[in-house]
A and B are shown apart, each in its own frame.
Chain A
């Protein structure tokens, strides 16, 4: 068995059908068929939709750069000289960088642990037969229903009695478990999409099972890992009901807490509030723009498999 044949199936772990003809081909056929009018309305509609989806994001950034006097006006101003003063107000808050560090630690930590743990579990679920496998699948599915927000008080009692309040470590672990079920579930789809023959072939070629996993399957999972981690990242980055109750020491706050409290402390200062929102959103926006090409389709390839 040669390497070239190996690469074949790897290229097409598609859920449904073989790949379509390339885009220009299709466009050409369509162009012939459609009348001009038929091509204009989809574009107009697309423009309107794009404006609708982008507007709140645009408005957030635009408000955050507006001079204070032009923020609270009855008639909004669309042209102005940008200013960074609101970002100053937002980051001047004591301990701001501690919050950033805490948020990053808890989020990245939770996602990384979840990826490792989920990879092992989903590999076992997909590729191995063992007693209780179906039960585990069901449990993972049900775990996604867990209403974490209403369990805060129980988590609080547990944390209090274990004396781990105000701990970023404990928070990281909670976030890890919050994102774990979804991570297992999606990774499972991705692993199932990698043909079994590939792994077998590698083992025939003399790889141990572990080697086969790391050399063959793991690289193929890259998009899956990225899209999964993206979801985990958002979940953990956003969380605030839990941290609000668990961490009362300002030193143990995270960014969502800062954002919500900032709002109540600064009241009507929408410029600063929008600057704070922007700062909070930017990491996720950047992450999406970097990973999105892998993540979007990746999720359908993974999740659609179900």
Chain B
């Protein structure tokens, strides 16, 4: 510490410019009074009203504390979090995607919350959300929300074409064909790299993104299951004019594509549906959305979906660890989770059964909970986070196959990259 201090003084003196604390955060740490608690939330995760209310209550209970919310983009988030966690003054609370949490827990960058289990209400949490927040029996994060994708469709376009929400893949494709034949609309908007959607199809076939191989993992896209899943994806994608080399966030399907009209259906999360509705209303229109679960191979069971979600964690090096844990506790408490569920209209599942609200008929949430039972996670190993870094081999695989590469060959290339990355520390 001392050496670091000397180095700091040296550099500051050399530059004649002191390190600029940006917003008085530096002063805040020295005094007992004014403190700023920095919270990183991901784009789309925290409804504005909810988070404002929450902070108001928190600030009222902790005098002199200001909570600063900084919204982050998913794109490039891992490098940002990695460097931030290595710093002396990282953000105090972090939202981490459930596929990435283990990757950070293993580094020791996250504060161990095991002692707070009771306070946090560990026993009431949804079991499905736990695996991503724990590592080797220790708790490193509190589950916050979880959600899965459903098909969002424009009721009037479906009605024009005389198409009912499908319950099987066959009906789904038939319906899309009918929309293509009878309307001017794009039957489905599906960009080439929507890899969570692909994962669902892969699970439908009984395959997986990566499988355990002794004490190692290896990629499993170059399999008959991988090819079959991709085959179906390609069939759907052929109904779309979406680019084959981007994912659903570039351009943002919910706010850039759907509101412009003429999209009969698309696959998205609750916050995306809400975003699209807001954008349409802002432009003076009215959204008329219906929702159905991603159809499965048979009518008995909907298709598998990726059970996405986020956890809240406190960086080990946080300067306001206790306060941060307080905030985390409040945000994930039953009371506030209930408000969260209400704020999202049930489109995001809160961390406990008790906080859940009953979805309204015809809502996104109603369709979503239907496939919650067949929700799956990406391979649970710290190395998985490496696979998701850019350029993501699963996305590349999809684009390659869509552009005509043999699935086996594209799969072999992708598996090589996945195997190498997933086994990295």
Contact = CB atoms under 8 A, between A and B. Distances in A.
A binds B: yes
Interface of A: 72, 156, 160-170, 172-173, 245, 248-252, 261, 264-265, 267-269
B374 to A, nearest CB: 31
B22 A173 contact: no
A41 B10 CA distance: 64
Given A164-B15, A170-B17, A245-B79, 9 more contacts: A160-B86, A168-B17, A169-B15, A173-B15, A248-B84, A252-B20, A267-B251, A267-B256, A269-B256
Nearest to B74: A264
Contacts, number: 72
A261 B73 contact: yes
B88 interface: yes
A102 to B, nearest CB: 10
A172 to B, nearest CB: 8
A251 B19 CA distance: 13
Chain A residues touching B, majority SS? helix
Given A163-B8, A248-B84, A268-B251, A169 B18 contact: yes
A167 B17 contact: yes
A102 B15 CA distance: 16
B138 interface: no
B23 A164 contact: no
B70 A164 contact: no
A232 to B, nearest CB: 18
B23 A251 contact: yes
Contacts of B255: 267
A199 B256 CA distance: 65
A219 to B, nearest CB: 29
A270 to B, nearest CB: 10
Given A245-B83, A265-B73, A269-B256, A167 B19 contact: yes
Contacts of B256: 267-269
Contacts of A268: 251-252, 256-257
Given A248-B80, A264-B73, A161 B19 contact: no
B7 to A, nearest CB: 5
Contacts of A72: 260
A166 B22 contact: yes
Interface in B242-267: 250-252, 255-257, 260
A168 B21 CA distance: 10
A173 to B, nearest CB: 6
A167 B70 contact: no
B84 A170 contact: no
